[in-house]
Amino acid sequence: MVTIKVDGLEFCYGQHPVFSNVALRVDSGQVVSIVGRNGAGKSTLLKCINMILKPAKGVVLINQTPVASMNQRQRARQVGYLAQKSEQLFPSTVFDTVLTGRFPHSPVRFTQQDEEITAEVLEMMGLGKYAHRQFNRLSGGEQQQILIARALTQGADILLFDEPTNNLDLQHQLQIMHLIRKLAREKGIISILAIHDLNFAAAFSDTVVLVHNGTVFAHGTPAAVFTKENILEAFGVEVKIYDHHGIPHIAIAGM
């Protein structure tokens, strides 16, 4: 059982406050989507959780241990971070790309166990057929799946996704979101996403965090957060909300 807790988090760029007093708790197997306007601080919040950026105030705890007290290798064993754009890695096979996820465990030389874990993760995700292909020749959706596999080889219980569906076609967007949901349910992985697509957030998340005006404006189930009033206040857009088997579906009013 893994729990990550964010308490009183605040971050500023110079004298410009981005957000303050952010509080959040996520338990094993949960998917949490962070939504808000461009510039609301979604990506910055992810980076503060992983200590890529240092918060001005507040604490992030993993099972009561402050993330700030961990060294880089310790953090990498706990948290996997997937950036908004696929990384421009040196030409390498998919297998070797995923194998690098074992670096926090074997920083000097990869072992046979590391290779076995890599092979198991690729097979578990149905990616074994890509093992000997060049990573940089795959499609954007395929690359995103490979980077998720690399994070899993880290043994990370927490995955942070910055716009995981960005620049993907609809089919690959759905594949990635279903994969994130599957990893949460079957492996107990905590997934925290910064995401623009409100309908994807509604369909695949247990909890939604709406960031607005530098703070958490709304926090709860998709149905509780995605109301006409909240969306109008946070995004300045009038919408209609349709119930689809208990999941809110958001449509722009007048369309």
Q: What is the mean pLDDT of residues 7-16?
A: 90
Give dist(CA 165, CA 191) in Å, integer.
14
> What CATH number does residue 162 fall under?
3.40.50.300
Does a structural domain hold residue 236?
no
Does a structural domain hold residue 254?
no
φ, ψ for residue 13, nearest 5 deg:
-95, 105
Does a structural domain hold residue 83?
yes
Give dist(CA 127, CA 119) in Å, integer.
9
196, 168 Cβ separation under 8 angstroms: no
Position 245 confidence tier, pLDDT thresholds 50, 70, 90: confident
Does a structural domain hold residue 29?
yes
Cα distances (angstroms) measured from residue 203 to each of 143, 160, 180, 198, 238 = 23, 18, 12, 9, 20
Q: What is the mean pLDDT of residues 68-73?
A: 90
The pLDDT, as a whole number, for residue 255 is 56
Q: Which domain holds residue 205?
A: 3-223
Give dist(CA 231, CA 54) in Å, integer.
30
Q: What is the mean pLDDT of residues 224-229?
A: 96
Over residues 41-57, the pLDDT tens digits come to: 999 999 999 999 999 99
Does a structural domain hold residue 246?
no
152, 80 Cβ separation under 8 angstroms: yes
Does residue 85 register a pLDDT over 70? Answer: no
The amino acid occupying position 62 is I
Share of the chain above pLDDT 70, in %: 97
Does residue 237 register a pLDDT over 80? Answer: yes
Give dist(CA 53, CA 46) in Å, integer.
9
The pLDDT, as a whole number, for residue 58 is 95
Q: What is the mean pLDDT of residues 133-161?
A: 89
Give dist(CA 176, CA 145) in Å, integer.
7
148, 179 Cβ separation under 8 angstroms: yes
Does a structural domain hold residue 193?
yes
Does a structural domain hold residue 242?
no
The amino acid occupying position 199 is N
Over residues 149-202, the pLDDT tens digits come to: 988 898 889 999 999 888 788 988 998 899 999 999 999 999 999 999 999 999
Residue 232 token pair: 């109008």
Position 88 confidence tier, pLDDT thresholds 50, 70, 90: low
Angle of CA points 201, 178, 189, to nearest 5°:
85
Give dist(CA 3, CA 240) in Å, integer.
35
Residue 91 vs residue 74, higher pLDDT: 74
Position 86 confidence tier, pLDDT thresholds 50, 70, 90: low
- Of 2, 48, 47, nearest to 21 by C-alpha is 48
The pLDDT, as a whole number, for residue 194 is 96
Share of the chain above pLDDT 90, in %: 67
Whole-number mean pLDDT of the chain?
91
Give dist(CA 125, CA 155) in Å, integer.
15
Does a structural domain hold residue 239?
no
The pLDDT, as a whole number, for residue 104 is 86
How is the chain split among helix, strand and coil, in percent rounded to 5? 40, 30, 30
The amino acid occupying position 13 is Y
Number of domains the chain is built from: 1
